[in-house]
Structure 1
Amino acid sequence: MELAQQFETAVAASKTLAEKPSNEILLQLYSLYKQATEGDVSGEGPSNPFDFVAKAKHNAWEELKGKSKEDAMKEYVALVQRLKG
């Protein structure tokens, strides 16, 4: 199966996991998805200093700066496979 197809299958599977992943895992899924679909983060992040969720999401995505879209897809697929157990 082509990587893009594996990625799309993993995205769909991530929405039907038996149990909700921890916040840390959810941030990993979010940041890998964003890196795989949009590439490096741009902008300075949320302007509201008290929007902790948006700030955490932005920071998690920013940590992946420089990672190729293909590598992000591979890591996303592997993480979802691990979560499906």
Structure 2
Amino acid sequence: MTVKSIGGNSRIEALRKREAALREAIAMEKVRQQKKDEKDDARLHLIIGGALVRNAAQHSDYELMLKSVLTSMTTFTDGEKKLLRAKGWL
């Protein structure tokens, strides 16, 4: 082996290490972004849900419409249905 090829191998190895570090950083950033998106979605649901409930409290016709929508939903879990019934929404 010549000195030139040894130097080239070390450069390739350094680039591979850098590549691995970048791949890890990208993966970590994707996880961070997904967590942020999930947190934002949960906050959005709270804000919108709160606005709907407040509007229903002020307008009985809207409350009836909202109850109708909730009654027609088939994706609620048993626990969610129990809570909605207990609070008078189903």
Confirm or deny a common fold (TM above 0.5). no
State the TM-score bracket (shorter-chain normalisation): under 0.3
* More helix as a share of residues: 2
Structure with bigger RCO (C-alpha 8 Å, 6+ apart): 1
Which has more radius of gyration? 2
